Structure 1
């Protein structure tokens, strides 16, 4: 690189990877969303849009036919000349490399809209066009391929065009919609499609090729440093621009021999804005700093905080220059950090580190990103670097977050005892305990997560050591975000509940119309039996957990489990809740998972065994052929099963997953089953509890049928209930809603129960066994969450 007659070597690649071009990626995403909106609008709401356009056109279409023709002709000539104007502008500015992208954008846009079901349809632009104004220009104005070509060419060329011509060209292109309304005509939907498709094609090409913003203005950086008294001799790229700034090690002649130059481009500004907005949305206002209006303000803030901390003698570098450069770039230059990182030192430096942090806090400054590499020691003095997240006039919350971050960093380097004891000695026990509440994922910035190995484990270790050294029973985590994870999960569960309950709501009028014939004593009997199934489930889980948990708490957990299982597909939420409950009760994760897996395995075995037994009993007195699937269905199911087995045997990834994830758990469950055979009492409790669930549900359905007049025996109802339960576990809908009702009604009808009895009986059964427990399960789950039971 030659600057002002001097040759300055540049070592390393300045090119930013495509995955880090935030501005270009956002442009592609917005263009794709635009295509989706136009397509959806054309397919779904096009008639309403046509009516609206006609009414608007009648209001604004004040031109006479002759004036409309003149306006249309003038605009058509401008649209026809627009691609040539763009080409001339590029040639005059000598953007020779851009011509290939310009041509490719136009051709791809035209090709994209020329593909039809019968092949490629070529444009048919010809002179005699009697349909509209009898002009040649109207063909181009309404042709989506021409509009797409213009939009694609203009999107590709815009970054290299001057601001004023670029704005006028986009204004001219986008005026085709108002022009149509002024001349009292409807905007062609295909023209709107051409506009967004062309924008998408151009955005993709710009993302692949790049923009002028990617060209690093090193010449301007050299001149800025020269004005500050530093003559640049060479640049070395230490880190390309990406998620962070372009980092350059710079050899200079001046008061220093080497500087660190950080250069921020538009993509860094976009990422910073997105990150700030996301934190503002998700975190409480007391936890977030004010938003920076521009990249210039963000870099300037960092430099000013570096100066403030430097005045205290605790900055590892001092600022040389902050300046805005060409093409939207920003320069931040500072001296090479001095001192030795604490990761290379012994634990003897810890008292000085904590005292320096306390001094910085006393001067109302917080750091915000205390990762190990940003804390150094020079001649006994502790120095800090970074300052991107530092704040002047820091709140108490921000100071506590600093302490939590430094606890994690020092624990990872020097061990939990040294880090925590030194912090307590310098800061005091109360301060450390309060800050330990912020030993959470939300309080740890990205820098600490990357620089501290196994940071989650280190964080948990530091919290436990603080609890141990201070004698506290438990340290409650501080809520930094606006919504906790539990609150988000509960919101999702409520939305899922509304979704799964909607089909039931549509049948409520029919159900209530049948209530006049209901025998309420049978309904109360069914409700009591439904309640006993939760006692059976609690007893089975109690035995699977070796009796370590009190049965009454397990009954309460099973009630909350119903709400979670109903609002998640295949009941996976219920399994997770049971594991979490056992963990909170003191069981290890592996033991809790094994207990729940054992209960589910015994539930399946008991369910299938009872199904076989009752099928044999029913087969002696009832014809089951009408509920057995057709032979073709059975063969198809068997073929699918064999195919799945073959896939898991021959696909390496699936085979490894089975060997490393499924097989150990299966082996553990089989071992538990073998141990059950050696403990008859425990085995009887588990089998009895699992059997109570299946038979209790069957008895509840039978009571519901009897409540509306009856029509079949208990054995037939049991078979129908077990088949419905099987479908509930296989159905993709939460709680098996829809599939269970259909299976139960169809099963009862197959055994001769009239529809006027089967339909309300099944709905009553679902109210007793599903919706009433779900309504009770929500407040129960909230109560258990408040009591730290889940």
Structure 2
């Protein structure tokens, strides 16, 4: 590189990776979205747009035919001249490499709009309005291929063009829409399509070939440093541009022998803006740093923070220059860092690190990204570098975040025990405990996560070690994001509930008209019977957990369980909620899972036993063909089950999961079943609780049937409830919505109950046992979450 008559060698790659051109990616995405909008508008709302355009044209179309013809002709000449003007501009500026992209953009855009079902179509010059000026030039306005070609060429050339010519060319191209309206025409849909296609083609080509921002203005950087008294003799690339700046070492003649040059391009600006927007959308306002209006302000902030920290004697380097360069680049030059990074030193340097960080915090300054490479030791003092995320006048949250980051960084380097002990000995147990709630994954910045391959394990280890050394059994995690994981899960469940409830909602008018004839005393009896299921299930689970949780809270959890089970297929959410509740009650993960599995196993045994007993009591005269599947279906289900078992046995990962995860839980369940055989009291509670669930559901359905006139016995209803509920439990819909209703109605019909009684009875039963508890369960679930019970 030659600058002002001097040759300055440059070593290393200056090119930025393609995947990091954030601004070019954004341009492609916006162009694709615009094309989708144009296509959707042409297919769906084109008649409405035509009517609107005609109305606007009548308002603004004040020209007579001769004036319209003249304007149309002049604008046609302008459109015809645009690509040639672009070509001349590129040749004058000697952009020879761009000519290939310029030509490719035009050819691709024209070809894309020339493809038809029969092959390529040649341009057809015509006008659909007979009183328009019928000339060759004016017809360029109506051909989408010409519009697409110009849009693609301007898009490809824009990054290399000066601002004023670029704006004038876009103005001339985009003026075709108001020109059509002024001359009393509608805007051709095909011209809008050509504009969208051309922009997308040009954006893709720019992404592939790059932009001028990738041409690093090192000549301007050398001149800026020369004005500061540093004559550059050589540049070497330390780190190519990517998510962060392009970092170079500059060998100079001046007060320093070498400098570090950080250069920020357009892509860093757009990438940083997207990152800030994402953090603003996902994190609370107190967790996000102040927004910078431009790249200049962001770089200037970093330099000013370096000056402030350097005045405290805690900065490893000093700023030299901040300047705006050509093509949107920003330069930040500083001296080379002093000292050695702590990742190259033993753990006895940790007290010095915590002392320096405390000195920063005493001046209400936070660092914001305490990676090991940003912490150095010089003459026994810990110094800091970076400061891109530093804040002056930092809040308590930012100071606590610094402590949490340093705990994680030092844990990853020296181990959790050494790191936490050094922190407690230096800054005190209270400061460590205050910051420990932020030792969570969401509080760690991206730079720190990238510094350690296993950073998640370091977070967990640091958090656990703080609890051990401070004697805290549990450290409450701080919620940094606007929505917690539990809130997102609850929102998804609520949306699922609305979705699955829609078929029932559509039947509400008819159902309400039938309720006028219902016997409300029997309906009240059904509701009371349905509450028996919560008490019975809670008693069974309480006995399975050996009475280690409060029975009252367990009954309340069963109401919330209704919401979780109804909004998930196969009632998986209810099982997960039960396990979570037992874990919060003090049981380990394996023990809690085994307790729930034990309760489910006894429930199945009790259910089958009751089904056999009531089938014997009912006799064999009932026709169960309506609710028992066809043998082919049963064979198919059995074949699927055998296939799943075979797959689990043949696939190594699945086999390992069966051996390491499922087998211990099955062994625990078998041990509990063996223990139940030796404990009659506990065994009786579980059996009675499981029986209460089945019989409570049967009583609720029987009460609903009697509310609409009855016509069948309790034994019959019990058989229908057990068989229909079992078959419907395999349905993939959340809560078995649709399948439960169909199975119960079919079962009652099989025993001779008329449809005018069976249908409203089943709907009332579902209201009492499903829909009313579901809405109460939503608030109950929030109540349990607020009290940290789930």
Give the TM-score of the pair, scaled to structure 2: 0.89
What CA distance in whole angstroms lies between the structure 1 residues aligned with 2:514 and 2:191?
A: 56
> Which stretch of the first structure deviates more once superposed, 725-734 or 610-619?
610-619
Q: Which residue of 1 aligns with 2:124?
A: 125
The residue matched to 2:62 in structure 1 has which SS?
coil
Label 1:343 to 1:140 Cα distance change in 2 as closer, same or farther (>3 A).
same
Label 1:161 to 1:534 Cα distance change in 2 as closer, same or farther (>3 A).
same
Q: Which residue of 2 aligns with 1:148?
A: 148
Q: Does 1:214 align with 2:214?
A: yes
Conservation of the 8 A alpha-carbon contact between 1:9 and 1:235: yes
What CA distance in whole angstroms lies between the structure 2 residues aligned with 1:131 and 1:645?
A: 75
> Which stretch of the first structure deviates more once superposed, 13-22 or 431-440?
431-440
Q: Which residue of 2 aligns with 1:517?
A: 517
Q: Which residues of 2 match residues 638-657 of structure 1 at below 5 A?
A: 655-657=651-653
What CA distance in whole angstroms lies between the structure 1 residues aligned with 2:639 and 2:65?
A: 71
Measure how far apart 1:298 and its partner are: 0.7
> Which stretch of the first structure deviates more once superposed, 743-752 or 157-166?
743-752
The residue matched to 1:562 in structure 2 has which SS?
helix
The residue matched to 1:296 in structure 2 has which SS?
helix
Measure how far apart 1:626 and its partner are: 4.3
Q: Which residue of 1 aligns with 2:195?
A: 195
Measure how far apart 1:84 and its partner are: 3.1
Measure how far apart 1:388 and its partner are: 0.8
Q: Which residues of 2 match residues 567-606 of structure 1 at below 5 A?
A: 567-600=567-600
Q: Which residue of 2 aligns with 1:449?
A: 449
Q: Find 2:654's aligned residue among 653, 658, 674.
A: 658
Q: Does 1:70 align with 2:70?
A: yes
Label 1:607 to 1:88 Cα distance change in 2 as closer, same or farther (>3 A).
farther
Conservation of the 8 A alpha-carbon contact between 1:369 and 1:405: yes
What CA distance in whole angstroms lies between the structure 2 residues aligned with 1:128 and 1:56?
A: 21
What CA distance in whole angstroms lies between the structure 2 residues aligned with 1:89 and 1:195?
A: 22
Deviations 1:443-469 (A, max 9, x none): 322222233564444444444444454
Conservation of the 8 A alpha-carbon contact between 2:581 and 2:789: yes
Label 1:28 to 1:667 Cα distance change in 2 as closer, same or farther (>3 A).
same
> Which stretch of the first structure deviates more once superposed, 472-481 or 391-400?
472-481
Measure how far apart 1:716 and its partner are: 5.8
Deviations 1:150-177 (A, max 9, x none): 3223222221222112112222222222
Structure 1: gaps of 5 or more residues: none
The residue matched to 1:219 in structure 2 has which SS?
helix
Q: Which residue of 1 aligns with 2:565?
A: 565
Conservation of the 8 A alpha-carbon contact between 1:570 and 1:728: no
Q: Which residue of 2 aligns with 1:760?
A: 760
Q: Which residues of 2 match residues 128-527 of structure 1 at below 5 A?
A: 133=132, 134-137=134-137, 139-452=139-452, 454-471=454-471, 474-527=474-527
Label 1:486 to 1:667 Cα distance change in 2 as closer, same or farther (>3 A).
closer
What CA distance in whole angstroms lies between the structure 2 residues aligned with 1:344 and 1:597?
A: 51
Measure how far apart 1:581 and its partner are: 1.7
Conservation of the 8 A alpha-carbon contact between 1:369 and 1:447: yes
Conservation of the 8 A alpha-carbon contact between 1:132 and 1:138: no
What CA distance in whole angstroms lies between the structure 1 residues aligned with 2:569 and 2:394?
A: 46
The residue matched to 1:331 in structure 2 has which SS?
strand
Deviations 1:295-344 (A, max 9, x none): 11111111111111111111111122222111111112222211122233
Structure 2: gaps of 5 or more residues: none
What CA distance in whole angstroms lies between the structure 2 residues aligned with 1:661 and 1:567?
A: 27
Q: Which residue of 1 aligns with 2:705?
A: 705
Measure how far apart 1:717 and its partner are: 4.6
Deviations 1:502-537 (A, max 9, x none): 433332222211111112222222222322222333
What CA distance in whole angstroms lies between the structure 1 residues aligned with 2:137 and 2:81?
A: 11
The residue matched to 2:234 in structure 1 has which SS?
strand
Measure how far apart 1:735 and its partner are: 2.9
What CA distance in whole angstroms lies between the structure 2 residues aligned with 1:529 and 1:302?
A: 69
What CA distance in whole angstroms lies between the structure 2 residues aligned with 1:644 and 1:113?
A: 51
Deviations 1:441-500 (A, max 9, x none): 343222222335644444444444444544556543334334433334434444443343
Measure how far apart 1:410 and its partner are: 3.0
Deviations 1:676-723 (A, max 9, x none): 552335676656545544454344233322221234555665565456
Q: State how many pairs are aligned.
A: 785
Label 1:221 to 1:549 Cα distance change in 2 as closer, same or farther (>3 A).
same
What CA distance in whole angstroms lies between the structure 2 residues aligned with 1:402 and 1:499?
A: 44
> Which stretch of the first structure deviates more once superposed, 375-384 or 628-637?
628-637
Conservation of the 8 A alpha-carbon contact between 2:77 and 2:138: no
The residue matched to 2:768 in structure 1 has which SS?
helix
Conservation of the 8 A alpha-carbon contact between 2:540 and 2:687: yes
What CA distance in whole angstroms lies between the structure 2 residues aligned with 1:499 and 1:128?
A: 51
What CA distance in whole angstroms lies between the structure 2 residues aligned with 1:628 and 1:194?
A: 61
What CA distance in whole angstroms lies between the structure 1 residues aligned with 2:188 and 2:618?
A: 67
Measure how far apart 1:368 and its partner are: 1.4
Conservation of the 8 A alpha-carbon contact between 2:598 and 2:673: no
What CA distance in whole angstroms lies between the structure 1 residues aligned with 2:350 and 2:634?
A: 71
Label 1:490 to 1:629 Cα distance change in 2 as closer, same or farther (>3 A).
closer
Give the TM-score of the pair, scaled to structure 1: 0.89
Label 1:191 to 1:727 Cα distance change in 2 as closer, same or farther (>3 A).
farther
Conservation of the 8 A alpha-carbon contact between 1:728 and 1:735: no
Deviations 1:160-219 (A, max 9, x none): 222112112222222222223223333333332332232222222222221111222222
The residue matched to 1:333 in structure 2 has which SS?
strand
Deviations 1:34-82 (A, max 9, x none): 2232333334333333332232222222223333333333333333333
What CA distance in whole angstroms lies between the structure 2 residues aligned with 1:399 and 1:521?
A: 63
Q: Which residue of 2 aligns with 1:11?
A: 11
Deviations 1:404-432 (A, max 9, x none): 22233334444444444443444344333
Conservation of the 8 A alpha-carbon contact between 2:127 and 2:139: no
Measure how far apart 1:629 and its partner are: 5.1
Conservation of the 8 A alpha-carbon contact between 1:296 and 1:324: yes
Label 1:752 to 1:204 Cα distance change in 2 as closer, same or farther (>3 A).
farther
CA RMSD after TM alignment:
3.4
Measure how far apart 1:267 and its partner are: 1.0
Measure how far apart 1:264 and its partner are: 1.0
> Which stretch of the first structure deviates more once superposed, 445-454 or 132-141?
132-141
